[in-house]
Amino acid sequence: MAKLTGDTESGVLTLRVARYNPEQDEAARPQEWKVKILPGMTVLDALFAIKEEQDGSLAFRCSCRMGVCGSCGMFINGKPRLACNTQVSELGSVVEVAPLPNHDAIKDLVPDLSLTFSRHRAVLPYLMRRDTAEMESPTREYHQTPEELARYVQFTYCLKCSLCLAACPTAATKEQFLGPQALGQVYRYVADSRDEGLAERAGVVDASHGVFGCHLAGACSEACPKGVDPALAIQLLKRSLFSGPPHRSAAQVVPAFPEGHQTPEAAVRPKAPPPSV
């Protein structure tokens, strides 16, 4: 990385951005802009200031601006981060921004996340049950205790921002590796006491390009903006492939309300929504 220089005392930030237009460029090229630093300014704010005031052709992706959607993942000063969650005051007077590593760039700072989502779909990321009739037309609820929820709830916070994949050294060298996002979500469902799909998912992840391709570098967990800790999920998934899921039997179906309880809506039960995956 080039030596960072700039003038924070004057309240001016130098933003060095990797520009790439597939119609014109063979490779990314750096371009610099000066931006006035405002209180609470994030990297995403600075990019918007450039786009609105200096160069409208600058391309980047964002949505919620609150660290919830995961759209604005970028490589900022050598680390995968969410631009909306990263304060420029914490980065120095020069900020270098590039698209996420281990991803193709569509344009400028916009990464192609199609591979992330296709790998996510490949690991069957939904509850799987043997009682398919109850799943498709539910009449009651699957019982789950707070302790059973605690086993996997940490891993439900994944944004699919792909920062973990950008940080993963195995993904950088092994094209077929499923990656920490997909593998972490496998354990999220395997550890769910309502699920019975370990055997089906084992056929996808029990391979050299799957869970056993992980070298446990831990970079994925360091990069995760939500503390999901996919490295931990991957290690727990390895154990589950040998010894089974944390729950020994699937959650039982129980009435949604205590026996005898009636509600005005009890006579009309809603149908299950169509599968989203």
- DSSP one-letter string for 193-254: TT---HHHHHHHHSSTTTGGG-----HHHHH-TT---HHHHHHHHHHHHHH--SSSSPPPEE
HSE at residue 45, side-chain half, CA atoms within 13 A, is 15
3-state class (DSSP) for residue 18: strand
Task: Give the domain extent around 175.
Answer: 114-253
Closest CA to 113 of 73, 147, 173: 73
Mean pLDDT by 10 residues, the chain (277 residues): 45 96 94 96 97 97 95 98 96 96 97 96 95 88 93 96 97 94 97 96 92 95 96 97 91 75 63 79
Domain identity same for 118 and 196: yes
pLDDT for residue 273: 83
Domain identity same for 20 and 69: yes
**Residue pair 168/202 in contact by the 8 Å Cβ criterion:** no
Domain identity same for 169 and 241: yes
**Residue pair 184/120 in contact by the 8 Å Cβ criterion:** no
Domain identity same for 207 and 79: no
Domain identity same for 228 and 98: no
pLDDT for residue 2: 37
pLDDT for residue 114: 96
- Own/partner long-range contacts of 52-57 (Cβ < 8 Å, ≥24 apart): none
Domain identity same for 230 and 134: yes
Domain end (from 96, 111, 126):
111
**Total number of residues shown for the chain:** 277
Cα dist from 41 to 14, 108, 223, whole Å: 13, 21, 21
Provide the domain count of the chain: 2
Question: How many Å apart are CA 267 and CA 1, to the nearest integer?
Answer: 65
- DSSP one-letter string for 56-102: TT-----S-SSSSS-TTEEEETTEEEEGGG-BGGGT-SEEEEEPPTT
Question: How many Å apart are CA 152 and CA 103, to the nearest integer?
Answer: 28
Domain identity same for 86 and 207: no
Domain end (from 94, 111, 128):
111
Domain identity same for 168 and 72: no
Q: Determine, yes or no, domain membership for 83.
A: yes
pTM of the predicted protein model: 0.85
CATH code: domain of residue 16: 3.10.20.30
**Residue pair 172/180 in contact by the 8 Å Cβ criterion:** no
Name beta bridge partners: 72.
none
Domain identity same for 107 and 120: no
The helix or strand, by DSSP H or E, that contains position 15, with its residue range, turns out to be strand 12-19
